[in-house]
Structure 1
Amino acid sequence: MVCFYIVGDDLNERILIVEGITDKKKINKVLKTPVEILCTHGTLGVERMEELILDHNLDHRPVFILVDEDDSGNKLRKQLTSELPHAAHIYVDKAFREVAATPEHELARALLSHHFQVKPVYLI
């Protein structure tokens, strides 16, 4: 297996932002190595967004956004993009709509495309 490294991206500093706890559980099932995952539980108010940015040093870390392909997910993605323009976006197929409903092998491929280490069993 070939390993990819992104210049300036410390893999231990990566942070993944998702909507809910079921998304987090599904992603943790697929990941081979631990990654800090933040749940927003929907769109964020100004104060909560500021807290997340400061508490997790998001302005100075590699941030990845993986949210549902629905109206609320798109609204959250837009909000996060405006506050964290350096964040990379990971998308699930619109046919599945939700991260939690995405088959593990599809989720593994999406994460692998952004150089996350995933369990080989999901790379079928």
Structure 2
Amino acid sequence: MDIAIIVEGKNDRSRLRRVLKGEVPIYCTFGTPGTDRLEKLRREVGDKQPYLFTDNDSSGKRIRGMLRDAFPDAEHIHTRRGYHGVEKTPEDYLIEQLEKAGLEAYIVYPPQDPAPWKKEDFT
């Protein structure tokens, strides 16, 4: 894997795990990260391309700013205002944001529901 995703908490990680391939590493800041946590994240991410997926609230913006300093080349993804964090964001919106970031190759798309009827049923 050549990417790593950093989120705020374990519930965010669980939510993203549902729409990303299992081999994509997802790391948590566990809230506002201190110096030690930022250093540990830097070691864990290593030379992978980091993606920061944070909430679109004041806490998420503050954490995003701290992560921006630690990972200046990171791509930024965040939820829409009105969703109560990544963990409460609908899967289809998460997928849309991941696609906008160019991560289609890593997305696990939900199976398409087959139509309950066919055109031939009515001819």
TM-score range, shorter chain: 0.7 to 0.9
CA contact 1:105–1:123 (8 Å) conserved in 2:
no
Q: Which moved more, 1:47-56 or 1:77-86?
A: 47-56
Residue of structure 2 equivalent to 1:71: 58
CA deviations on 1:70-106 (whole Å, 9 max, x unpaired) are: 1111110000001111000012111214101110100
Please state how far the C-alpha of 1:122 moved relative to its aligned partner: 7.5
CA contact 2:4–2:25 (8 Å) conserved in 1:
yes
Residue of structure 1 equivalent to 2:73: 86
Q: Which residue, out of 22, 31, 34, partners 2:20?
A: 31
CA deviations on 1:11-34 (whole Å, 9 max, x unpaired) are: x12000001111111101012453
Residue of structure 2 equivalent to 1:16: 5
- Specify the SS of the correspondent of 2:30: coil
- Specify the SS of the correspondent of 2:64: helix
Q: Are 2:108 and 1:105 equivalent residues in the alignment? A: no
TM-score of the superposition, structure 1-length normalised?
0.80
CA contact 1:18–1:40 (8 Å) conserved in 2:
yes
Please state how far the C-alpha of 1:48 moved relative to its aligned partner: 2.0
Percent identity (aligned): 31
> Which 5+ residue runs of structure 2 have no aligned equivalent?
114-123
CA contact 2:3–2:48 (8 Å) conserved in 1:
yes
Q: Residue 64 of structure 2 aligns to which amino acid in structure 1? A: R
TM-score of the superposition, structure 2-length normalised?
0.80
User: What CA distance in whole angstroms lies between the structure 2 residues aligned with 1:22 and 1:90?
Assistant: 17
C-alpha distance 26-83 of structure 1, shift in aligned 2 (>3 A): same
User: What CA distance in whole angstroms lies between the structure 1 residues aligned with 2:97 and 2:38?
Assistant: 25
Q: Residue 96 of structure 2 aligns to which amino acid in structure 1? A: R
> Which 5+ residue runs of structure 1 have no aligned equivalent?
1-11
